[in-house]
Structure 1
Amino acid sequence: MINGLYEAHLPVENLEISIKFYQSLGLKFAWRDEETAFFWLEEGKSWLGLWEGMEYQTTYHPSLRHIAFRVSYEDLKKSIEWLESLEIKAVPFGSRTSVEPFIRPHQGNASVYFRDPDGNSLELMSYIDVPDQLKHISEKLSFEEWEKLLINSQNR
């Protein structure tokens, strides 16, 4: 029945500033009206709606103000440099102090986090193949730690 995500929404204070920000990320502008703007995430499949209004003041919680964009593993490796080229700072996730991308082996994904001009949490996220013998690892690993583990698991 469900084939994918059609749309997601974020609150913003100023639509003009937000439109420029999301265009800088490479999202394709779809349309806008007085208080909303939409960008294609996957053209013809899914989009992100930005809604101008006081709701941008809502206290952050991942269930309310968070979007994860799917990227390739190789692109995620270069994400910090890419964000810096756009003058965007990556931010640590949760209790982590590092802003570097990290791997969650037990979930089969890797991430890096940053924020839009309104403090909405944005994430670049990649699926990763996890060998069965590593799927039990629930700690967050750096790319370096992960790639060493992969090499060691392949040499067994």
Structure 2
Amino acid sequence: MMMKGLYEAHLPVSDIKASISFFEKLELTLAYENERVAFLWIEKGKTWLGIWKADMSTIPYHPATRHVAFQIETSSIEQIKAWLIEKGISIHPMFGFSEEQQPLVLDNPPQFHAAIYFLDPDGNLLECIAPLEIDAVENNDMMTYKDWVRKKNPFID
């Protein structure tokens, strides 16, 4: 296969400096900055995020223009909420699931993911997502990650 992964994604922001500070809290590393754009490494040499000073930061949210999902290890999905909150980042209610109910499990057959949502300073929707099951054969409704774990392991409290 020629394609090896996603190299970059871009978001509109109103204040480059404030956005750099926010993404550095998420442990992204500044690679380049000028008055209209900055690039931050997610994984140096492999993946980065471009943030652009643009009026588009005020248009209503739509996932096609103002959404980035960061892949995380499945084993860290339960720790991610505490990690974000410790950094002063609030969990954003999504799909009818409150902060308390996240992480949640997305019902995107045939692949299921655990996810937790939050906003950057401009209201761009950010997501930490971890694969749970690939090529799943059953259909599921969206549920909390805790309910997913109970469903897969009924003997665990």
Q: Same fold, TM exceeding 0.5?
A: yes
- 1:128 is displaced (CA, Å) by 1.1
Using the alignment, how far apart are the partners of 2:115 and 2:61 within structure 1?
19
Matched, 1:123 2:132: no
The correspondence for 1:103, drawn from 81, 102, 105, is: 105
Give the equivalent residue in structure 2 for 1:144: 146
Give the equivalent residue in structure 2 for 1:52: 53
> What amino acid does structure 1 have at the position aligned with 2:104?
F
Identity across aligned pairs (percent)? 35
Using the alignment, how far apart are the partners of 2:59 and 2:135 within structure 1?
40
TM-score (norm. length: structure 1): 0.88
- Which residues of structure 1 form unaligned runs of 5+? none
Using the alignment, how far apart are the partners of 1:76 and 1:58 within structure 2?
30
Using the alignment, how far apart are the partners of 2:135 and 2:70 within structure 1?
24
Map residues 73-92 of structure 1 onto 2, 5 A cutoff: 73-92=74-93
- 1:97 is displaced (CA, Å) by 3.5
SS of structure 1 residue aligned to 2:76: helix
SS of structure 2 residue aligned to 1:136: coil
- Which residues of structure 2 form unaligned runs of 5+? none
- 1:82 is displaced (CA, Å) by 1.1
- 1:52 is displaced (CA, Å) by 0.8
SS of structure 2 residue aligned to 1:81: helix
> What amino acid does structure 2 have at the position aligned with 1:97?
F
Using the alignment, how far apart are the partners of 1:28 and 1:14 within structure 2?
17
Stretch of structure 1 that moved more, 12-21 or 99-108:
99-108
Stretch of structure 1 that moved more, 101-110 or 69-78:
101-110
Aligned length: 150
SS of structure 2 residue aligned to 1:108: strand
